Every structure is written in structure tokens, then in C-alpha cells.
Amino acid sequence: MAKLKLGPIPNDKPVKVTLSLPGALHRDLVAYAEVLARETGQPIGDPVKLIAPMLERFIATDREFAKARREAEEVMSTAFRSSPAAHGSSSA
């Protein structure tokens, strides 16, 4: 049995997004849904529902993105700590 990166798809409130996919990518998405359905025993009614979990998984496992995000948060945190407002000082 294949070890796919996606597991069962959680039932979550969706946000409507419209996009166009190249035909080859859509065919791959349909094929992936078929394999995932066989592996998990959870039928995938609409392969487009796989896009969000795939993006989530991609972002969650992108080490360079995680590093850049941490660095940006550190910069923001440092800027906040060094601002006068963060120290409770007022200009009155």
C-alpha cells in the first residue's frame, strides 16, 4: 500500500475560492483522490477538496518557509519590545 502525504480529510467549514487548473494537474488530482480513497476507505466525492489539505501539508513541511516565518516573527517581536509603547511610556 502506498504511503501518501495526506490522510483522511477533516470536515471543516470551507471558504469559496475560484481557480483554474491545467488539465494535467486536474487529472493528477483525480488520480490522487482515487488512490487516497482506496488507501483510507474514505471516498473523495470532489477531488478539488484535496487542494486545501495539500497546500496545508506543503506549507507545514516547507522548512525554508518555517525558518523565514520564525525570523519574521522574531523581527516583529523585537521591534515591539523596543518600541516606547511596549514599555508603557507616554509622551504627555
Computed on alpha carbons and rounded to an integer, the radius of gyration of the chain in Å comes to 21
Classify 8 as helix, strand or coil.
Answer: coil
Instruction: Please state the pTM of the whole predicted model.
Output: 0.63
pLDDT at 88: 61
Report whether pLDDT(91) > 60. Answer: no
pLDDT at 31: 97
Rounded-to-integer distance, Cα 25 and Cα 28, Å: 5
- The alpha helices in the chain, defined as continuous H runs, are 23-40, 51-60, 63-82
6-46 pLDDT tens trace: 777 777 787 788 999 999 999 999 999 999 999 999 999 99
In the chain, the amino acid numbered 13 is K
Cell of 61: 513541511
pLDDT at 22: 97
